């Protein structure tokens, strides 16, 4: 019997929901993402094949109309909007799923004839999408069709399909077309440029260029074979590159599609691709066996197993599945975007979400993937230095929205993102977190230290000295509703934390690594010490942290306006109001653990929770963690449900354009950091577990210093076990332990 905690099932077909379901039923492996469109045909807005790092230039049609004072004065720059035209975007490359079936004289389409039964299931534990259809054509004859597919986790360049056509009580002639449809569009535009296409034997091949700016070559080879009384015929279908099979009776089509791009090799792409063609297996079963051998343990490591609450278990596992397939484990040509590889919204840019929301999942469950995400930042380090120079500073200023080169790609007509300099603290923070969790000194010495100290150099040059010490002026925090503020709490506390850790690294690792090769001289050290000791950290005598200078002087009231589903603007007058889009101060207590005084935690959370609109999906996970930390377990549970169900229930709208990847990763982190209270420091694991009485059992895995740790809560008992040679120092609710070879069990009060 299938475990429904790990299956997303659709039992009826709705044409109106095709776009949303294409997101939810997407498959992928981190290299490619394939939207859950149908093999026989889908509308352009439903289909999608995206490959990691294949972005190009397109025309973006933007006609926003500022509707209130805040939007007019602070949010949009209408002069820049007049000049805005082109931007980069992840490119929809082709429909590689194309399998069209003709039964007698009638094409199989679910909206034609009659659907006698329908079930589509995505199995998170296998990564396989299966659709079972019993279809009666307009002549009254019945045919069973089964469609199966997965993106291989063993060979990231393969998408594997199997289609079974089984007539029920009729012997009509059947035609099956298997191949490629190159008419995909991005943002409604034909961006790809055809290079060549051909059919040879039972293989349909095509090559396109990604677009006009970068022109990456992208090649597809669809190898097909049919079991049954069928023969290969001349293709007569319009507009697709395909192999045609004709026959009668049951047919089983196996289709293996090879996807490769010129970004996959440093040498000759043609030679590399030809070699890949010669290496692949054309058997669906063989490819599945290889895939599941790699994928199953990866999913188990990256999943949260919950017993006693199937609905939340399913939504959390769905979130873990989506996060796992959002980042590439094999290369570093690009980072992970806000929609993963499931849609075009946000253009597959790499935002601060990557470092703060998505990186923790990979750092602790798939360290090699986390390393690749950081190597992408290293690839763009030279451009980050240039960004800083152009702004009049030293060091590395990372782009708020980064694509191929690391140049700023954020929409030029929006004011607020250009001041979100916290990204250069976020990148430093993620390098540090990876270092502390993995102990990967080889990475740090080759890449990590350079990224980290380049970011610190930026902040040394960015601060302004005043009578209060060092201040950071004119920034936008994580809360985009208040741009151009001074001393944003999130920014200042993050910068002070990474500066303090920078001093620590220089003091403790100076004997083993020559930081002088990175330009860390006495002047740099002096500037770093000043940053650590003199940076202004907003906090009053009652422990309240002002989100920015003057925040508490703003009104707690705001003129509400009608809220349109999916809109981020629920009020007017943000410039005069304390209403915030998403957590800023609360992030410091939850996601980043920068040493905030726990004495005032609840006080700050109580205040800012009421001021937060949660109009960003990134709001729910920090609030879930804050609730767990403060023993508000029912509220934790409600925020966890919103975190994990945001796409399944389309809570914010926009899920039809791709999943909310940062929020999805937050489901795992809410349980890791919130329910288990897990904080990994440089030399120990700190745990503060909570018990949910309506869950029978919850279990999570993570890596720490090469050891695979398992945490399980069952019947008010926390069980800690590990695989690995090294002993691990652990603190549970303040009591120290050494985890050696055996399990450790601790009661939860």
Contacts of 26 (CB under 8 A, 6+ apart): 33, 34, 35, 36, 48, 322, 341, 342, 659
For the chain, the C-alpha Rg in angstroms (whole number) is 27
d(CA 564, CA 56): 32
- Closest Cα to residue 258, out of 221, 223, 293? 221
Cβ neighbours for 172, distance < 8 A, ≥ 6 positions apart: 103, 104, 141, 248
- Give the whole-angstrom CA distance, residue 703 versus residue 474: 39
Q: Rounded to an integer, what distance in angstroms lies between the CA atom of residue 630 and that of residue 513?
A: 41
Q: Provide the edge-to-edge strand list for the sheet that holds 193-200.
A: 7-10, 114-123, 128-136, 142-151, 158-168, 251-261, 217-227, 203-209, 193-200
Look at residue 628 and give its three-state secondary structure.
Answer: helix
Task: Quote the strand ranges of 141-291, DSSP E.
Answer: 142-151, 158-168, 174-180, 193-200, 203-209, 217-227, 230-233, 241-247, 251-261
Kindly list the catalytic residues: 480
* Cα–Cα distance for residue pair 415/84, rounded to 1 Å: 13
Strand 241-247 versus strand 251-261 pairing type: unpaired
- Residue showing tokens 């995400």: 373
How far is Cα 119 from Cα 99, in angstroms, rounded to an integer? 18
Measured between alpha carbons, how far is 500 from 513 in angstroms, rounded to an integer? 18
Q: Hey, is 663 helix, strand or coil?
A: helix
For residues 138 and 204, the answer to whether their CB atoms sit within 8 Å is: no
The tokens of 554 are what? 């703003």
SS3 assignment, position 167: strand
**Three-state SS at 490:** helix
Query: Is residue 664 within 8 Å of residue 658, measured between CB atoms?
Result: no
Spatial contact of 419 and 476, defined as CB atoms under 8 Å apart: yes
Cα 10 to the center of its chain, rounded Å: 24
In this structure, what token pair is assigned to residue 314? 């399913």
Distances (CA, A) of 384 to 201, 401, 408, 458, 640: 49, 12, 9, 10, 35
| Beta-bridge mates of residue 29 | none
Alpha-carbon span 457 to 394, nearest angstrom: 6
Containing 602, the helix (H) or strand (E) segment is helix 601-611
% helix, strand, coil for the chain, step of 5:
35, 25, 40
**Contacting residues for 73 by C-beta, under 8 A, at least 6 apart:** 575
Count of CB atoms situated within 10 Å of the CB of 252: 16
Asked whether 669 and 361 are in contact (CB, 8 A), the reply is yes
- In whole angstroms, what separates CA 185 from the centre of its chain? 23
């Amino acid at each position: 019997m299938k475990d429904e905690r790990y299956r997303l099932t659709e039992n009826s077909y709705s044409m109106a929901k095709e776009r949303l379901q294409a997101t939810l039923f997407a498959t992928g492996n981190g290299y490619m993402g394939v939207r859950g469109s149908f093999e026989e045909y889908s509308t352009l807005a439903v289909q999608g094949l995206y490959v990691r790092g294949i972005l190009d230039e397109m025309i973006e049609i933007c006609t926003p109309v500022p509707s209130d004072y805040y939007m007019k004065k602070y949010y949009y720059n209408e002069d820049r909007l007049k000049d805005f035209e082109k931007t980069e975007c992840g490119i929809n490359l082709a429909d590689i799923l194309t399998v069209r079936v003709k039964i007698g004289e009638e094409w199989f389409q679910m909206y034609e004839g009659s659907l006698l039964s329908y079930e589509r299931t995505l199995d998170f534990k296998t990564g396989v999408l299966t659709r079972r259809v019993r279809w009666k054509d307009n002549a009254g004859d019945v045919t069973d069709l089964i469609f199966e597919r997965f993106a291989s986790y063993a060979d990231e360049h393969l998408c594997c399909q199997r289609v079974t056509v089984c007539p029920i009580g009729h012997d009509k002639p059947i035609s099956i077309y298997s191949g490629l449809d190159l008419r995909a569009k991005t943002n409604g535009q034909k961006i790809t440029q055809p290079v060549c296409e051909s059919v040879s034997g039972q293989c349909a091949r095509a090559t396109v260029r990604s677009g006009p700016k970068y022109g990456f070559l992208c090649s597809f080879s669809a190898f097909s074979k049919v079991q049954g009384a069928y023969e290969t015929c001349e293709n007569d279908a319009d507009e697709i590159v395909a192999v045609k099979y004709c026959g009668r009776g049951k047919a089983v089509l196996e289709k293996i599609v090879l996807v490769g791009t010129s970004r996959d090799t440093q040498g000759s792409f043609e030679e590399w691709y030809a070699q890949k063609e010669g290496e692949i297996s054309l058997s669906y079963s063989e490819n599945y066996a290889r895939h599941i051998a790699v994928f199953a343990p990866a999913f188990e490591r990256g999943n949260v197993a919950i017993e006693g609450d199937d609905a939340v278990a399913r939504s959390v596992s769905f979130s873990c599945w989506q996060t796992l397939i959002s980042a590439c484990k094999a290369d570093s040509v690009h980072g992970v975007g806000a929609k993963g590889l499931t849609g075009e919204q946000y253009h597959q840019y790499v935002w601060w979400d990557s470092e703060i929301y998505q990186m923790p999942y990979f750092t602790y469950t798939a360290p090699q993937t986390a390393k690749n995400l950081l190597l992408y930042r290293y690839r763009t380090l030279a451009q980050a230095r240039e960004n800083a120079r152009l702004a009049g500073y030293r060091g590395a200023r990372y782009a708020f929205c980064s694509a191929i080169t690391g140049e700023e790609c954020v929409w030029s007509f929006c004011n607020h993102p250009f001041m979100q300099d916290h990204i250069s603290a976020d990148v430093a923070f993620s390098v540090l977190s990876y270092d502390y969790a993995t102990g990967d000194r080889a990475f740090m010495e080759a890449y990590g230290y350079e990224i980290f100290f380049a970011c610190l150099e930026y902040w040394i040059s960015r601060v302004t000295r005043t009578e209060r010490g060092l201040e950071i002026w004119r920034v936008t925090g994580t809360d985009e509703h208040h741009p151009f503020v001074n001393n944003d709490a999130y920014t200042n506390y993050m910068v002070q934390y990474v500066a303090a850790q920078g001093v620590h690294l220089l003091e403790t690792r100076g004997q083993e690594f020559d930081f002088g090769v990175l330009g860390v001289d006495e002047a740099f050290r002096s500037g770093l010490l000043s940053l650590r000791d003199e940076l202004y950290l907003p906090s009053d005598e009652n422990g309240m942290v002002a989100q920015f200078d003057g925040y508490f002087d703003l009104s707690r009231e705001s003129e509400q306006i009608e809220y349109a589903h999916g809109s981020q603007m629920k009020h007017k007058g943000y410039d005069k109001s304390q209403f915030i889009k998403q957590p800023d101060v609360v992030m410091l207590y939850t996601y980043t653990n920068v040493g905030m005084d726990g004495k005032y935690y609840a006080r700050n959370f109580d205040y800012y929770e009421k001021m937060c609109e949660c109009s960003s999906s990134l709001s729910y996970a920090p609030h879930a963690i804050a609730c767990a930390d403060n023993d508000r377990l029912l509220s934790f549970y409600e925020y966890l449900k919103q975190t994990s169900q945001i796409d399944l229930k389309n809570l914010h709208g926009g899920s039809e354009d791709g999943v909310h990847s940062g929020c999805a990763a937050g489901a795992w982190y809410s349980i890791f950091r919130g329910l288990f209270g897990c904080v990994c420091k440089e030399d120990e694991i700190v745990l503060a577990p909570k018990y949910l009485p309506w869950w029978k059992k919850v279990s999570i895995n993570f890596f720490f210093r090469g050891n695979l740790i398992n945490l399980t809560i069952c019947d008010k008992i926390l069980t800690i076990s590990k695989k690995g040679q090294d002993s691990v120092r652990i603190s549970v609710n303040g009591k120290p332990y050494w985890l050696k070879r055996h399990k450790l069990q601790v009661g939860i009060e």
